[in-house]
Chains A and B, each alone.
Chain A
Amino acid sequence: MKTEDEKTTGRLRRSRTWLPGLLLISPSIIAIGLFVYGLIFWNTRVALSGKHDEVSEYGFDKGKNFVDLWDQPSWPGAVENALLFTVVFVGGALLLGAFLAFLMDKGIRGEAAFRTIYLFPMAVSFIATGVVWRWLMNPAPPERAVGLNQLFDKLSLDALANNWWQNQDWGMAAMALPAIWQMSGYVMALYLAGFRGVPEDLREAARVDGASEWQVYRYVVFPQLRPVTLSALIILGHISLKVFDLIMAIAGKQIITYVPAVAAYVEIFDRHDPANGATIATYMLVAVAVLVIPYLVWSVRTERTR
């Protein structure tokens, strides 16, 4: 039978294994709990309330806001814009990034320099990118043209000149161009790491079996990159669904480029309608969650099977 003293030391010894770890992460747990989950809870609470101005009580309106939002004249357009932007931006950045990585992977001279150049836009904030591209994508006709249209005019490529993001139907696709420019270098870095992670022996084996260089990539390298593609998709996707600063820098709060984040800002700060703003924020959270949660489940599962 153990004495009391021995029990205490035993408990102490055991606690020595988990206590420091817990202490180390507890500030993060508290901070996340408060500032992430606490605020998510509060936001959802406001979204479910009838607080459509500063004065009224919160109350509870059983999710009426989530339905009524679709009657707001600017909202359906904002959703369409966000979807079009997402498709073009994510697709464009993935393709361009993969292509750049493919070129780099061939071991060109001055690879490090190119890598830096392609990665560099990522160091710029969306606001700065927006200010420059606002000027580049000015749709003025030839006699007053500036930016890209002027360049096309000078090069006698008039056919390429267009009205960019002020196009009624495809404007948001143009809006995705600066975002592609900014993020494709990052995607390239992801893919390049992925390419380099594929062992040389595998490629050699394929070559010995008579595979052409294209076939090596098609059947050996790319299939191994599914996790990279998925990560890139998640990262780009959630940036895209939350896009705000780029739009504000290029177009401001104009209906033609309305997206959910801009709509939330306008509802809260211009219309003074906290409930509607919180409803939009909740929709955005759900949209990102739909994207991220399956990814988390999938990555936890693959982790386990490993």
Chain B
Amino acid sequence: MRVRVLGHRTRVLAAAAMAGALALSGCGANEDQNSNNDKSEVEVFSWWTGPGEADGLKAMQADFEKKNPGTKFTNAAIAGGSGTQAKAVLASRLQNNKPPDSFQGHAGAELIDYIKAGQIEPLDDFYDENGLKSVYPKQLLDQITYKGHIYSVPVNIHRSNVLWYNPKILKDAGLDGPPKSIPEFIDALKAVKDKTDKVPLSLGAQWTADHLLENVLLGSLGTDAYNALWEPGADWNTPAVTKALNEFGEIMKYTTLEAASTDWQGAAKAVVDGKAAFNIMGDWAYGYFVGDAPNGLGKKLGEDFDWAPAPGTEGTYMWLSDSFTLPKNAPHRGGALAWLKEVSSKEGQDLFNPKKGSIPARTDADKKLYTGYLKSALDEWTNPNTKLAGSFWHGVTANNKWHTDIDTAVGLFLQNRDVSKLQQGLVNAAKNSGQ
């Protein structure tokens, strides 16, 4: 026994010593390079390693290398959905003052921690020099402006408020079409439950309930009231929010029992497989539905599934966006600026987005490249009458603390199903966010 314990300890020690040696050897490199406007290299940090997104990045890289022959491109992508792992690595690199030249982040409030810590630079001059303020929608620029400055360059747009549904199940339940308001939605869920043996609304792990919550809030409160919730000092303790949360609680009664065991893919797949009637998920689900195996399901829009704006959100685009930043003390600032230029260019965005399955953030994109669902998404995005709302769950309107605290409140609600506690949790989350 004792021998075993000792053996264990030796092994731990060896590992620690090894880690130490690695850390020491890592410290020597890269010191004292005064490399402002160094264009020889660019290290681009992202979490685009999955099918589609990695291809899109590669296409943009090829275009970048053609335009900047003297710049060596290093792809520092780290795998892991929505960047959980990548963000942990990034945090330690930024704290050690060893930033990549440019890193991916959701545009909006998710970047506030980096901004407050002085880790990324404002890009107002960059926007002016490249005439970007006229090619991005004004509402978008307003919503990513923090204290008068813009800190990131959006490359794509995804839509959060999409209701995916199975037309056959809707027919079986005697419904004419997708519900247009939250009360209609609740009636439709009830009809599915009463008249079919299918799941009314499929749901995945806890975060998909957060995603559902933002859609119910938007659908119930309306766009302006939803956007106002994220302003400094906003009041979450209103009867309107209570009503929305009650509706959220009601909707949650029609969800899958095994939700916590599945991620969004499982929940979305239930709709196209004819096991569930509805699912509310962002439009990245579209690429998953229509893509070819093994990464996609090879289903057909209009037959196996269809979509509508989430109930009560017609005419509003609840957006989220991947964007790139300029870290302070970027070792190759010149390379980084050249990369940002690529990312903000029409060609770059038109190369990236059809592959990734999203639409360009710019309004002057080449519409011919976008077909199927993406065509209608782009039409709506570029329509001047469309209102924009920022997705809180996907980093637009809430900073990291607020975001996590809402997630905690929703997680507790999934357990106790107590709407008043949920509201109190949301009030506290807004108060403590420090945003």
Using a CB–CB cutoff of 8 Å, the interface residues on chain A facing chain B are 27-28, 31-32, 34-36, 53-55, 73-74, 77, 134, 137-141, 143-144, 163, 165-166, 168, 190, 193, 227-228, 231, 251-256, 258, 266, 269-273
* B378-435 residues at the A interface, CB under 8 angstroms: 400-401, 403-405, 407-409, 411-412, 414-415, 425, 434
Which residues on A sit within 8 Å (CB–CB) of B258?
138-140, 144, 166
Most buried by A among B197, B260, B401, B425: B260
Given A228-B1, A255-B408, A144 and B117 contact (CB-CB distance below 8 Å):
no
B411 touches A74 (CB 8 A): yes
Query: Can you name the residue of chain A whose Cβ is closest to the Cβ of B118?
Result: A55
CB <8 Å contact, A270 and B1: no
Contact A266 B404 (CB under 8 A): yes
Report 29 cross-chain contacts, Cβ distance below 8 Å, ordered by A residue. Answer: A27-B17, A31-B17, A34-B20, A53-B113, A53-B401, A73-B409, A138-B261, A139-B261, A140-B256, A140-B257, A140-B258, A143-B197, A166-B258, A166-B260, A193-B1, A228-B1, A254-B414, A255-B206, A255-B411, A255-B414, A256-B414, A256-B415, A269-B84, A270-B404, A271-B400, A271-B401, A271-B404, A272-B91, A272-B401
CB of B116 within 8 A of CB of A54, answer: yes
CB-based nearest B residue for A193? B1
| Residue of B whose beta carbon sits closest to that of A31 | B17
Report if B79 contacts A (CB, 8 A): no
A35-B20, A73-B409, A254-B411 given. 7 additional CB < 8 A pairs? A53-B434, A54-B95, A54-B119, A55-B118, A138-B261, A139-B257, A139-B258
Most buried by B among A34, A258, A269: A269
List residues of chain B with CB within 8 A of the CB of A251: 205, 260
Contact between chains at A55 and B411 (CB < 8 Å) = no
Q: How far is the CB of B4 from chain A (nearest CB, A)?
A: 8
If A54-B117, A55-B117, A227-B1 touch, whether A73 touches B408 (CB-CB below 8 Å) is yes
Residues of B within 8 A of A74 (CB): 408, 411-412
Closest CB in chain B relative to A187 CB, distance in Å? 12
- State the CA gap A252–B414 with chains docked (Å): 15
Q: Is the CB of A73 within 8 A of B425?
A: yes
Shortest Cβ gap from A77 to chain B (Å): 8
Chain A residue numbers with a CB within 8 Å of B117 are 53-55
Contact call A254/B260, Cβ cutoff below 8 A: yes
Decide if B19 is an interface residue (CB 8 Å cutoff): yes
Interface contact B401-A254, CB-CB below 8 Å: no
A254 / chain B contacts, CB cutoff of 8 Å: 205-206, 260, 411, 414
A73–B116 Cα distance when bound, in Å, is 26
Give min CB distance, B53 to chain A, whole Å: 21
B228 interface residue (CB < 8 Å to A): no
Interface string of B75-105 (1 = CB under 8 A from A): 0000000001001100100010000000000
**B260→A256 contact, CB < 8 A:** yes
Q: Collect the chain A residues with CB atoms within 8 Å of residue B412's CB.
A: 73-74, 77, 255
What's the Cα separation between A193 and B2 when bound, in Å?
A: 12
B88-143 at interface with A (beta carbon < 8 Å): 88, 91, 95, 113, 116-119
- 3 pairs of A and B residues whose beta carbons are closest in the complex: A255-B411, A54-B117, A140-B258
Nearest-Cβ distance from residue A34 to partner chain B, whole angstroms: 7
Contacts of A165 in B (CB 8 A): 260
- Distance of A137 Cα from B260 Cα, bound (Å): 11
The reply to whether A32 and B13 contact each other, CB–CB distance below 8 Å, is yes
- Complexed CA–CA distance, A270 and B403 (Å): 8
A121–chain B nearest beta-carbon distance, Å:
17
Please name all residues of chain A whose beta carbon is closer than 8 Å to the beta carbon of B16 when the two chains form the complex. Answer: 31-32, 35-36
Is B275 positioned at the interface, with any CB of A under 8 Å from its CB? yes
Which residues from A are CB-within-8-Å of B17? 27-28, 31
Bound Cα distance from A141 to B276, whole angstroms: 14
What residues of B have a CB within 8 angstroms of the CB of A143 in the complex?
Answer: 197
For A34, list chain B residues within 8 Å (CB): 20
Q: How far is the CB of B412 from chain A (nearest CB, A)?
A: 6
Contacts of A134 in B (CB 8 A): 261
A9 to B113, alpha carbons, bound, how many Å? 64
| Minimum Cβ distance to chain B for residue A53 (Å) | 7
Q: How far is the CA of A231 from the CA of B197 in the complex (A)?
A: 53
- On whether the beta carbons of A31 and B206 are closer than 8 Å, the reply is no
Are A256 and B411 in contact, CB atoms less than 8 angstroms apart? yes
Q: Which of B16, B20, B258, B403 has the most CB of A within 10 A?
A: B258
C-alpha gap A39/B148 in the complex (Å): 40
Q: In the complex, how many angstroms separate the beta carbon of A238 from the nearest chain B beta carbon?
A: 11
A272→B1 contact, CB < 8 A: no
| Contact residues in A for B404 (Cβ distance below 8 Å) | 266, 270-271
> Measured between C-beta atoms, what is the minimum distance from A220 to chain B in Å?
20
Check B415 against A272 for contact (C-beta < 8 Å).
no
Would you call B275 and A144 a contact (CB within 8 A)?
yes
